[in-house]
Amino acid sequence: MAEANMNRHFARRVNSGPDLERTMFFSDAVFAIAMTLLAVDIKVPQVPPDQLGAAVAEQLPEFGAYALSFVVTAAYWLSHHRLFRLLKGFTGRLQQLNLLLLLFVALLGYATDMLAFYGDQVLGVVIYAAALGLIGTVNSALWWYCSREHMFLDDVDPRLPAYAQVRAPVTPAVFLASIPVAFLWGPQAATLSWLAILLINAVLRYLGSKQAAPG
């Protein structure tokens, strides 16, 4: 009996607690490395000087994919950072979800290269949209889980996580919805559909500001 109680106590200490720093530092490191490698993958053209302009022009899809991935992933990281700053502590399930998120973040370089070099192919766009969609889906699941388990600090306005749970699924939903668009109407239509992220988020920001306004 004493051994069983000791094991349960050990499990509670290992699988939950107030110290989030190591989880946050590790997560930040994975995000930072993945985002840095996006630029490392873009190589300086090894061509004669008179061909440099044309060679750089050929790299425009790489720069475009890099910029898009950096901006979207930065938004995901900001959401992740804000979430963990609002929490009382961690649980084993929270860490499992967080590791799943980082699993997909680590694939960011591969997905970005697929868009850069095969953005005119359905499969290239589908792989990219799936990767960005899965990152955002798990990020949304983190917000939902923490809200369901009442893991937020006592002084956190409940409207904040409620609003985040509305905003967080927008980006992954658009990316995942673009996958059937790519199969039905082609890769260009799918990439154009990603502009819906800007429109929907703008509407949500406007509605959020109206609700937050006094009176």
| pLDDT tens digits along 114-152 | 999 999 999 999 999 999 999 999 999 999 999 999 999
pLDDT at 169: 96
Q: Is the pLDDT of residue 215 over 50?
A: no
Banded model confidence at residue 18, pLDDT cuts 50, 70, 90: low
Banded model confidence at residue 7, pLDDT cuts 50, 70, 90: very low
In a domain, 85, yes or no: yes
- The stretch 13-30 carries a mean pLDDT of 80
In a domain, 11, yes or no: no
In a domain, 173, yes or no: yes
In a domain, 144, yes or no: yes
pLDDT in tens, 59-115: 999 999 999 999 999 999 999 999 999 999 989 999 999 999 999 999 999 999 999
In the chain, % of residues over pLDDT 70: 89
Banded model confidence at residue 6, pLDDT cuts 50, 70, 90: very low
Q: Which domain holds residue 165?
A: 21-41+57-212
Residue of 15 and 211 predicted with greater confidence: 211
Residue of 19 and 11 predicted with greater confidence: 19
In a domain, 47, yes or no: no
Banded model confidence at residue 16, pLDDT cuts 50, 70, 90: low
In a domain, 139, yes or no: yes
β-pair partners for 152? 87
Structural domains counted in the chain: 1
In a domain, 8, yes or no: no
In a domain, 154, yes or no: yes
CA distances from 10 to 13, 18, 88 (A): 5, 15, 20
CA 21 – CA 171 distance, rounded (Å): 27
